[in-house]
Amino acid sequence: GLTPEQAHEVLLRDGLNALSPPKRTPEWVKFSKNLFGGFALLLWIGAILCFIAYSIQASSFDEAPDDNLYLGIVLATVVIVTGCFSYYQEAKSSKIMDSFKNMIPQYATVIRNGQKYTIPAEEVVMGEVVEVKGGDRIPADIRVIQAHGFKVDNSSLTGESEPQSRSPECTNDNPLETKNVAFFSTNCVEGTGRGIVICTGDRTVMGRIANLASGLEMGDTPIAKEITHFIHIITGVAVFLGVSFFIIAFALGYHWLDAVIFLIGIIVANVPEGLLATVTVCLTLTAKRMASKNCLVKNLEAVETLGSTSTICSDKTGTLTQNRMTVSHLWFDNQIVDADTTEEQTGVSFDKSSLVWKALSRVACFCSRAEFLPGQDHIPVMKRECTGDASESAILKCMELAVGNVP
């Protein structure tokens, strides 16, 4: 392996073995968008017009009415409060999402100067010799140089549910197809392997996919488009009516200042002052209800988008499924028996007095390489994490529930 000095030099040259986070919008931009974007802009215009009307009245009359002043203050207060509330909701969700990233730090076993060291996965460098065993996550793209029953779970990368064997032999010119390359972020489900790091961070296959995904432009949400369209309609109607009443008032002999007051009053009257607060409160209540169902909403407008979605295009494994199998049926005594597939084991049980069942359960318990990870005694069996491939893990859980204390 490399010496610590060589590893340090490569680390300084290539940087940490981590995916570059996507560009984040500055906080002041997020706050400004909530405060001045969309429908809030129309309310700000209404508030400014109210202050202008009050200023005209105050300069023209000794005892000017305070109605426009109070209305302007109310409109500005509504916009500021709802804007701050929306920003707080987004910042709270983003903080929760960021905390997930640091919840479980990843480590890797490397060989340096002939000695094994356990280091943070971010410090793995190109040319490093790494060692992985069942249950470990592959810390970088590696070329396998030694393997003993080494199999990896590529479901997060390719969607293949079956474990893929890895060996030192090159079986294909395409690095994505050959068996002597294991990819960053995939998991070793069984066996042991040793390999040389060939790519780290953004240069890995997963890193290149992440960069492609992060480069996609985000369009406006349906509710943002609807609000923009609504603002255009309201603005057009308000300006048309305001100008019409201004012309009528001027034609009827009113002073031009009074006509301007009419103009401003008609425009402000057409602004639905309570709509912004109503929409924000409704979306927030929906987001809280979804949070109680373990669904975290990062953007309030996304709540309405999800409700109007007709088709969702998604990769299956890791998003819609967990690459986790469950035993649903057993065959013994020349008949098919239904197994309980519920996580809380609230379904029906079956007769376990048969001699054939005892033989079947004995074989299923002993002929398995799957194991429960330690420290999970307080967790329901169906929710426990296992080492080994998905099918053997499913059989292990089934036997643990049916027999108990599987060795």
**How far apart (Å, rounded) are the C-alpha atoms in residues 182 and 5?**
26
Q: What is the crossing angle of helices 67-101 and 275-291, to 10°?
A: 20
- Half-sphere exposure of 238 toward its Cβ, with a 13 Å CA cutoff? 20
Between 48-57, 153-162, 195-204, 373-382, the lowest mean confidence (pLDDT) is in 153-162
Q: What is the crossing angle of helices 39-60 and 256-269, to 10°?
A: 150
Between 4-13, 89-98, 169-178, 325-334, the lowest mean confidence (pLDDT) is in 89-98
- Percent of the chain with pLDDT strictly greater than 70: 90
> Does the pLDDT at position 193 exceed 80?
yes
* Cα-based angle 328, 334, 337 (whole degrees, multiple of 5): 25
240 and 155 share one domain: no
**How far apart (Å, rounded) are the C-alpha atoms in residues 61 and 48?**
20
- For the question of residue 315 being annotated catalytic, the response is yes
Instruction: Label residue 238 exposed, middle or buried (CB < 10 Å: 0-12, 13-18, 19+).
Output: buried
Task: Report the pLDDT value the prediction gives residue 55, as an integer from 0 to 100.
Answer: 86
Has residue 176 been placed in a domain? yes
Q: Which of 67, 315, 333, 338 does the annotation list as catalytic? A: 315
> Does the pLDDT at position 367 exceed 70?
yes
Domain boundary among the residues 256, 275, 307 is at 307
Q: Structural domain of residue 93, as residue ranges?
A: 37-101+232-307
Has residue 27 been placed in a domain? no
> Does the pLDDT at position 103 exceed 60?
no
145 and 208 share one domain: yes
Q: How many domains does the chain have?
A: 3
**How far apart (Å, rounded) are the C-alpha atoms in residues 96 and 89?**
11
Provide the pairing of β-strand 107-112 with 129-133: antiparallel
Has residue 298 been placed in a domain? yes
**How far apart (Å, rounded) are the C-alpha atoms in residues 354 and 364?**
15
93 and 236 share one domain: yes
- At position 68, the amino acid (one-letter code) is N
140 and 193 share one domain: yes
What band does 314 get if pLDDT is binned at 50, 70 and 90? confident
Task: Report the pLDDT value the prediction gives residue 76, as an integer from 0 to 100.
Answer: 87
Has residue 97 been placed in a domain? yes
Tokens of 177: 């197809």
- Most confident range, picked from 35-44, 79-88, 92-101: 79-88
> Does the pLDDT at position 407 exceed 70?
no
CB 198 within 8 A of CB 176: no
**pLDDT, tens digit, 9 for 90 and up, residues 254-266:** 877 778 777 887 8
DSSP state, residue 137:
B
